[in-house]
Amino acid sequence: MSKSKSEKKIHRITLIPGDGIGPEVTSAARKVLAATGVLIDWEIVDAGAGAVDKYGSVLPEETLESVRKNKVALKGPITTPIGGGFQSVNVQLRKALDLYANVRPVNSALGITFQHSPIDMVIFRENTEDLYAGMEYEVAPGVAQSLKIITEKASTRIAKAAFEWAQKRERKLVHAVHKANIMKKSDGLFLDSVRKVAANYPDVTYKEIIVDNCAMQMVMHPEQFDVVVLGNLYGDIISDLAAGLVGGLGVVPGANLGDDVAVFESVHGSAPDISGKGIADPVATILSATMMLRHLGEHKAADRIQAALVLLFAERKHLTPDLGGKATTDELVDALIAKIKILR
């Protein structure tokens, strides 16, 4: 017997609206999710510059406890000061919740691409160490030092996450990206760890590529990449490069995953210059929310959103200015919801 609407599962999810356009794009994503009929009980909490006055912290303990309790969160962009100020909230969140895998699917399904061949890759970026561990020192006047931290534990678990994902989805190829020809100890340890994991997945082809060659190959022949696993710094750079091939950060989703907790977010900035103008592009946040639906097992709803987005981009009538259109955020969302309702 099928369940009635009243018996449908209600998902309890933490919402972190963020700074700048964050509240606008997360509100847009909530409207789109509601249009699918998936039932969500949102617990709204603060982080970022807006949390300081209320809590005295950019990342209050109440926010962390909400995510730990609910296990799943949708997060808007948060402003990070450049060259000073508080440490990145994103980095603090990843460390506090041990969100060790940054997962970013990059594909050309929406039709914005500079390539003739289809692009369909997933990037697994280690999220907790490397140069982003933040171990920096001024060792003498005019001399600064940053420490690159690579451990077998972190390298092994990001490799396992990539291979597990590839195997479950019948992906056939994993590339490990490195600079072990120069950094023989640190990147050498990363490679050695990935090789040991790869040996346990004989059905998945394993290749290695030096990071600078990877950047060139990804621009020239991106179709050769399937699943890509990298350290923190290389992953940050290469994932943005890949996003540029399919239309930019405005159309690429992201997730930060740990063993028990998952935080889904777009990876673009908070764009304070357009905050409140009603023209923010919500697509990356909507796609991140779609990833979240799949994580929750709501695959049919996720498929409807994805199909509706493909139709929306094919028409090109209701896109925001950054996507080459003239629509407002609300106009894009309304047009998308109309298509979702048709795709039942």
Enumerate the active-site residues: 132, 179, 212, 236
* List of long-range contacts for 135-142, beta carbons under 8 Å, 24+ apart: none
Give CA–CA dist 63/112, Å, rounded.
36
Which of 301, 236, 245 has its CA nearest to residue 106? 245
Give CA–CA dist 308/27, Å, rounded.
18
3-class DSSP assignment, residue 123: strand
* Ramachandran angles phi, psi of 301, nearest 5°: -65, -40
Please spell the DSSP secondary structure of 141-168, one letter per residue: TTEEEE--B--HHHHHHHHHHHHHHHHH
Q: Report residue 88 CA to chain centroid gap.
A: 16
